[in-house]
């Protein structure tokens, strides 16, 4: 089996490679078909997915069985300032990969986001709820979802949120850095979502990819919390003595509105029997154990 991973230097692309190398994650072993898989892992320095001709040529040369698209323009404020640039990656780039996947008979596993919704919900968003993005980032990601599903007949779109892991910058690492040098940090308490550990997401991506159950899936950590509650749990596990002070979004304004509610329901994942996403507290424990073992 030959696999293509785009965005390989990002935290999710990196994690996919780790899980494939081990043949398992905490939440389960990988399907046997992945044993001995040839992995072609690329980033923008090797493959610029905004270049259609280059993307088609590269994929036709590699002829992967599955393309895992972890490439994305994720800087939310920068997207707001230059939506056209972001859309070339998050929209056009996905279309190019979908065209290439369709041309060689590959499956496409594309990663999307909670930002495709307006963030005003009060109960977990369903996979079939209408998208209504309130930001440029969200609009470009909707474009990518539509491209994947309309162009490639073997597409999986996985929406996730609040992602963290050892392989890149994220909220957990930021809190640990701040907590090591400060007595207190101030974190918003009125934005609610589900922290998602990259290892659990990577396993789910790989488990879904060997099925033919194409479509949209929500893949986030189990349960929900506010950013303030998440930060408090991080500081408690780090035992660094740093306390977390809550504030409102209005007290901590940003250039781009952040979703007040980002909880995603796992109905589609449950329907195919692959919802092994751990409660976010349990996954955070696993992250700390893993990173402490490496120190």
180: in domain: no
Beta bridge partners, 6, equal 42, 69
Query: Tell me: the pLDDT tens digits for 1-12?
Result: 999 999 999 999
Contact between 140 and 79 under an 8 Å Cβ cutoff? The reply is yes
Per-chain mean pLDDT for the chain:
97
116: in domain: yes
181: in domain: no
Instruction: Give the pLDDT score at 13.
Output: 98
Kindly report the number of other CB atoms within 10 A of residue 6's CB atom: 27
Query: Tell me: the pLDDT tens digits for 122-143?
Result: 999 999 999 999 999 999 999 9
Q: Which residue in the list 137, 197, 214, 261 is annotated as catalytic?
A: 137
For position 154, which CATH number holds?
3.40.50.720
Name the burial class of residue 130, with classes exposed (0-12), middle (13-18) and buried (19+) by CB atoms within 10 angstroms of its CB.
exposed
159: in domain: yes
25 falls in which pLDDT band (50, 70, 90)? very high
293: in domain: no
Q: Which domain holds residue 133?
A: 2-169+196-220+263-278
Region 63-91: mean pLDDT is 97
Under 8 Å CB-to-CB from 41, ≥6 apart: which residues? 4, 5, 8, 13, 17
Region 232-252: mean pLDDT is 96
Active site annotation includes 197:
no
188: in domain: no
101 falls in which pLDDT band (50, 70, 90)? very high
Question: Distances from the Cα of 20 to the Cαs of 54, 63, 199, in angstroms?
Answer: 26, 19, 11
206: in domain: yes
Q: Provide the whole-model pTM.
A: 0.97
178: in domain: no
Instruction: Give the pLDDT score at 254.
Output: 86
User: Domains in the chain: how many in total?
Assistant: 1
């Amino acid at each position: 089996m030959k696999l293509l991973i785009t965005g390989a230097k990002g935290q999710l692309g990196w994690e996919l490679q780790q899980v494939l190398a081990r043949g398992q994650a905490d939440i389960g072993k990988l399907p046997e078909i992945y044993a001995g898989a040839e992995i072609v892992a690329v980033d923008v320095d090797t493959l610029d997915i905004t270049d259609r001709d280059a993307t088609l040529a590269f994929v036709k040369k590699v002829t992967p069985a599955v393309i895992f698209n972890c490439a994305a323009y994720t800087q939310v404020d920068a997207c707001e300032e230059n939506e056209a640039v972001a859309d070339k990656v998050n929209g056009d780039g996905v279309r190019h990969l979908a065209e290439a996947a369709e041309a060689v008979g590959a499956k496409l596993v594309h990663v999307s986001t909670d930002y495709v919704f307006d963030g005003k919900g009060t109960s977990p968003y369903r996979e079939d709820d209408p998208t209504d993005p309130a930001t440029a980032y969200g609009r470009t990601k909707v474009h990518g979802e539509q491209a994947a599903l309309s162009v490639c007949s073997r597409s999986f779109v996985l929406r996730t949120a609040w992602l963290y892991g050892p392989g890149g910058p994220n909220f957990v690492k930021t809190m640990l850095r701040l907590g090591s040098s400060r007595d207190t940090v101030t974190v918003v308490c009125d934005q609610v979502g589900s922290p998602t550990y990259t290892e659990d997401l990577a396993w789910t991506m790989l488990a879904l990819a060997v099925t033919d159950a194409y479509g949209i899936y929500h893949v986030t950590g189990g349960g929900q919390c506010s950013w303030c509650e998440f930060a408090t749990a991080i500081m408690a596990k780090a035992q660094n003595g740093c306390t977390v002070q809550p504030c409102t979004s209005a007290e901590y304004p940003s250039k781009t509105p952040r979703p007040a509610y980002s909880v995603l329901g796992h109905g589609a994942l449950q329907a195919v029997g692959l919802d092994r996403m751990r409660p976010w507290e349990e996954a955070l424990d696993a992250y700390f154990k893993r990173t402490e073992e490496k120190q």
